[in-house]
């Protein structure tokens, strides 16, 4: 792992291009395995930033028909503490994940709890053959043993700060640092 970067100068579009390149290379190996085992490859993004990234990855990889979205709000282990977020979105997976290779996509990897919740929810839809994790940025601070297979950058962010991925009307990404109120 390389030395963490300071987040002030992060170019989200350049990070996306880096992530896309890593995912393309990594999925080529999965596709070779898929042809042997007849696994199906799919992409599932975690609402909201991960869903935006997954949609764009799916489009760029020609996999739009096998792209889904998870909202892990009800699967979080801190649900009782935090309550229901105002912007809960429905999970949308229209394909069978049983036996599939799933590329799970999130914008910021932090404690690992969101990833754990997403994996729990995925298993409600079937048992994947394999789950790979892609994240635009890894900010460290893991509380669970979770690591991304593909990550565009590792950054240092103060515990009182949060990285937020935003998408404009043209679909372009930006990353901002905000005060964490959680």
Contacts of 106 (CB under 8 A, 6+ apart): 45, 46, 49, 50, 53, 114, 115, 118, 133, 134, 135, 136
Residue 182 has pLDDT above 70, yes or no: no
Task: State the Cα–Cα distance between residues 50 and 103, nearest whole angstrom.
Answer: 11
21-25, 84-88, 153-157, 169-173 — which is least confidently predicted?
84-88
**Averaged pLDDT, 20-45:** 80
CA distances from 129 to 55, 96, 100, 170 (A): 22, 12, 5, 35
pLDDT of residue 38: 52
Domains of the chain with CATH codes = 7-79+89-179 (3.40.50.2020)
Contact (CB, 8 A) for 105 and 50: yes
Of the two residues 106 and 83, the one the predictor is more confident about is: 106
CA 106/CA 54 separation, integer angstroms: 8
- The CA distance from 180 to 19, in Å, is 25
Mean pLDDT of the chain: 88
pLDDT of residue 79: 54
Give the residue from 99, 88, 83 showing the smallest Cα distance to 46.
88
Average pLDDT over residues 6-35: 84
pTM given for the model: 0.90
- In this model, does residue 95 exceed pLDDT 70? yes
**Secondary structure (3-state) at 133:** strand
pLDDT at 77: 74
| Tokens (6 digits) for 9 | 């100068």
Query: How many residues are given for the chain?
Result: 182
Distance in angstroms between the alpha carbons of the first and the last residue of the chain = 28
What is the rounded distance in angstroms from the CA atom of residue 97 to the CA atom of residue 93? 9
CA distance 170 to 40: 31
* Backbone torsions φ then ψ of 151, nearest 5 degrees: -145, 130
Query: How is residue 75 annotated by DSSP?
Result: G
* 14 has pLDDT over 80: yes
């Amino acid at each position: 792992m390389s030395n963490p970067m300071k987040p002030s100068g992060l170019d989200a579009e350049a990070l996306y291009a880096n992530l896309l390149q890593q995912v393309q290379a990594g999925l080529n190996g999965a596709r070779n395995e898929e042809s042997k085992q007849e696994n199906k490859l799919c992409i599932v993004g975690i609402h909201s930033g991960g869903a935006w990234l997954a949609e764009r990855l799916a489009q760029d990889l020609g996999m739009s028909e096998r792209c889904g979205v998870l909202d892990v709000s009800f699967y979080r282990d801190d649900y009782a503490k935090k309550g229901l977020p105002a912007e809960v979105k429905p999970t949308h997976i229209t394909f069978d994940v049983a036996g599939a290779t799933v590329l799970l996509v999130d914008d910021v990897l932090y404690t690992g709890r969101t990833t754990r919740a997403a994996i729990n929810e995925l298993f409600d839809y079937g048992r994947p053959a394999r789950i790979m994790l892609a994240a635009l940025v890894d900010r460290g601070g893991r509380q669970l043993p979770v690591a991304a297979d593909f990550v565009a950058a590792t950054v240092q962010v103060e515990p009182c700060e949060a990285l937020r991925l935003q998408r404009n009307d043209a679909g372009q990404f930006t990353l901002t640092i905000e005060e964490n109120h959680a």
